[in-house]
Chain A
């Protein structure tokens, strides 16, 4: 049975990984690859979560790192396997696994600033102060349309929050319908996994669009 309490309050093992993704889209690809590598190694999908974190602002090069939560320990071998997975041209600009930052329980590996990024990502998840979940329990096979109640029931999401507040037309009550658009990225806030939603044409949709309009796109 998967738990539906907040990710961060779980007694679980948390590691950070920083392969210096320049964009969220790139970080999402990295997160997917990390999840896949862990599942292939026999990790239980029920306890697995991979989140993105913006780190590095203090070093003046903000970028995106990952945190990974698992239910059994990630040994050094598995951590290095993650780094090797990411050190390929399609996923990062790292040229060797050893460059990628890894951080767990205060210990780090990799280039110093990336090791700091990895620890910062892990800390955010541990303290429940931040992070944006790409993979989370119950998140993998959500239907295109479901109710708020179903979403809370099926996944690790703790809360659905309506942007702009409730109105006559829109509430985020248990029976409100959500159209996922195949892209659900809840965020950790104060230890809870919260999905921001907003009113759209025929249902609520998650705040984050699967294909946001790039600037200078030909509309």
Chain B
């Protein structure tokens, strides 16, 4: 590997045999920065004028050793940092001050995917056009191209992918194709960052990546300084929108629980540093074929969730958090878990479901001849290989995972605004065609992502209309929606402990067996009385499944009697375990 930095964050131990390792003299005492003087040059590991990103691996290893030893630099963030946006306004306050945030009653739902890799990713394979035409065929309306931030991408890929995206917009006029990138969030996991198309889309993404990507800046380690860099990156996006360099920008955290390195306080800090920019996370990761059994499948964890805690992980996350449940990330799948603890604060934080498409299960394509990613910043175009590749763990965009965004009209701006408003629900395997959820009180109402403010003591009722699949999905069967769950929690206000990931007052309050409940018009109609709204507001979110794999929830049967079961390693057929999730609606008492 001639470009070690690109992968340096994942397996730094693989670069140990660098022959510079000890070329600077083993006599050099680690305290020598105190008494290096005169003309004697500092060895690179000790010269903090040389950024981490420019050190050879062995020198970086040595520098990190000395940091851990407490004899080089201060680990503590040198600068105090205040997000330009200040603290996010709690939804409750916002809603009370400005009247209800109704969440727009969606005129139509546009299905999309914000997490897709091309040949401009070191681990990618396909052209932009390969993804766009498959996504188009599989019924998506919008998609985001998100190649990994890297030394090559910031130099080459971020620019070269743009003409291909522009061409795809012309070739597929029904598809909204956004340019984004997969940000290596400093000190944390990956995240989608994307912008509204326009003259600034490349320059803003490039400047963002150059300044704030964890791999480009060698800032992946979980420490306070890197956490600050992440917040500065989000503030940069905020000012890029504020100064109209781009019309809009959004960030969503990807596969958040996969490695336990997105701590609760980091997620809260992103949300609060850049409200309206950092808007949510993947409720379900991609790579949904990764759990199919060997020898005809990858045999891994569903979503490639097969990791265990590392020194960068948040120590309080339990082992279960590193696995998926019914294909969904533990933060979302746990009723009363991390997502609910965020929603209980009364602040927006939305979930999505995406493909993370790199290489497709059973596709025959392989990399073409003359491939040299390190030099070209791009893999050679794929060619047809000899056999279907059984170790690929992904599906094409739209084939299995969908993020549905409510819009008033079909436009790039409307998709971004719909995502920001949380007018979003997600499904797997085309389980649900359409849904309409409204909370009503008196004559007023709010839809997904909205907050309804009512007089204390007013009763509120949730009306739920669901249109289950009426056509076969891409595995050629018509999925059957079996059950729907309503999950309700109290709004307890901003968390005192930023690392809390429990919402003890949230539980499944009602489950419906909807077998045979479809009316003549194709819709299932349900309703739920939320009772009189007290001093604390409440929120409600929905979930449903084909009922094929159910288990008591992570917090026990009294909280979630029949939730998603933990996915089995090398034995997870994603088509036999389908779920949909909606984003919440809040009902808040007027002050």
Contacts and interface: CB of A to CB of B under 8 A. Distances in A.
Contact of A54 (B58, B64, B224, B311): B311
B307 A99 contact: no
A147 to B, nearest CB: 19
B65 A23 contact: no
Contact of B75 (A61, A117, A163): A61
Interface in B543-575: 551-552, 554, 565-566, 568-571
A90 B15 CA distance: 10
B122 A23 contact: no
Nearest to B30: A99
Contact of A25 (B13, B28, B69): B13
Given A63-B68, A216-B122, A24 B394 contact: no
A213 B325 contact: no
Contacts of A60: 75-76, 223-225
Interface in B316-364: 319-320, 322-323, 325, 358-359
A196 interface: yes
A218 B571 contact: no
Contact of B61 (A25, A93, A217): A93
Contact of B319 (A64, A113, A163, A167): A163
B565 A219 contact: no
Given A60-B223, A61-B75, A64-B311, A216 B68 contact: no
Interface string B214-258: 000000011111000000000000000000000000000000001
A127 to B, nearest CB: 15
B569 A201 contact: yes
B469 to A, nearest CB: 27
Interface string B293-330: 11000111100101111111101000110110100000
A202 to B, nearest CB: 8
Given A22-B12, A57-B315, A95 B22 contact: yes
Q: Considering residues B21, B310, B311, B554, which has the most beta carbons from chain A within 10 angstroms of its beta carbon?
A: B311
Nearest to B123: A218
Interface residues of A, number: 55
B387 interface: no
A75 interface: no
A139 B568 CA distance: 25
Nearest to A216: B123
A40 interface: no
Interface string A163-176: 11101000000000
A61 B21 contact: no
Interface in B107-126: 121-123, 125
B69 A114 contact: yes
Nearest to A161: B319
Contacts of A20: 64-65, 68-69
B392 interface: yes
A22 B311 contact: yes
Contacts of B16: 89-90
Interface string A41-85: 000000000000010110111111000000000000000000000
Contacts of A101: 69
Q: Considering residues A57, A165, A216, A218, which has the most beta carbons from chain B within 10 angstroms of its beta carbon?
A: A216
Contacts of A117: 68
Interface residue range, chain B: 35 or more
B275 interface: no
B70 A112 contact: yes
A209 B64 contact: no
A95 B28 contact: yes
B311 A198 contact: no
Contacts of B122: 216, 218
A8 B568 CA distance: 32
B67 interface: yes
Given A25-B13, A95-B28, A163 B308 contact: no
B287 interface: yes
Given A60-B223, A90-B16, A196-B319, A219 B75 contact: no
A112 B30 CA distance: 12
A90 to B, nearest CB: 6
Contacts of B391: 219
A106 interface: no
Nearest to B392: A219
Interface in B1-17: 6-7, 9-13, 16-17
B22 A89 contact: yes
A210 B248 CA distance: 43
B358 A22 contact: no
A104 interface: no
B148 interface: yes
A3 interface: no
Contacts of A149: none
B358 A209 contact: no
A21 to B, nearest CB: 8
A33 B58 CA distance: 20
Contact of B307 (A29, A63, A209): A209
Contacts of A207: 308, 319, 322
Given A22-B64, A201-B299, A113 B70 contact: yes
Contacts of A89: 16-17, 21-22, 58
A62 B226 CA distance: 13
B312 to A, nearest CB: 7
A30 B28 CA distance: 23
Contacts of B70: 59, 61, 111-114, 116
A25 B13 CA distance: 8
A215 interface: yes
A152 interface: no
A207 B394 CA distance: 23
B62 interface: yes
B509 interface: no
Interface string A99-127: 10100000000011110110000000000
B276 interface: no
A94 interface: yes
A205 B569 contact: yes
Given A60-B76, A113-B70, A216-B123, A24 B308 contact: yes
Contacts of B419: none
Contact of B311 (A24, A90, A165, A212): A24
Given A112-B71, A164-B323, 13 more contacts: A18-B68, A20-B65, A61-B64, A95-B22, A163-B319, A164-B554, A200-B570, A208-B308, A212-B307, A214-B11, A215-B190, A216-B6, A218-B122
Interface of B: 6-7, 9-13, 16-17, 21-22, 26, 28, 30, 58, 61-62, 64-65, 67-71, 75-76, 121-123, 125, 148, 190, 221-225, 258-259, 287, 290, 293-294, 298-301, 304, 306-313, 315, 319-320, 322-323, 325, 358-359, 391-394, 551-552, 554, 565-566, 568-571
Q: Which 6 pairs across A and B sit closest by C-beta, in order of nearness?
A: A60-B75, A113-B70, A164-B566, A93-B65, A200-B569, A20-B68
13 contacts: A22-B61, A23-B310, A59-B68, A61-B223, A63-B68, A90-B17, A101-B69, A111-B69, A163-B323, A216-B121, A217-B123, A219-B123, A219-B298
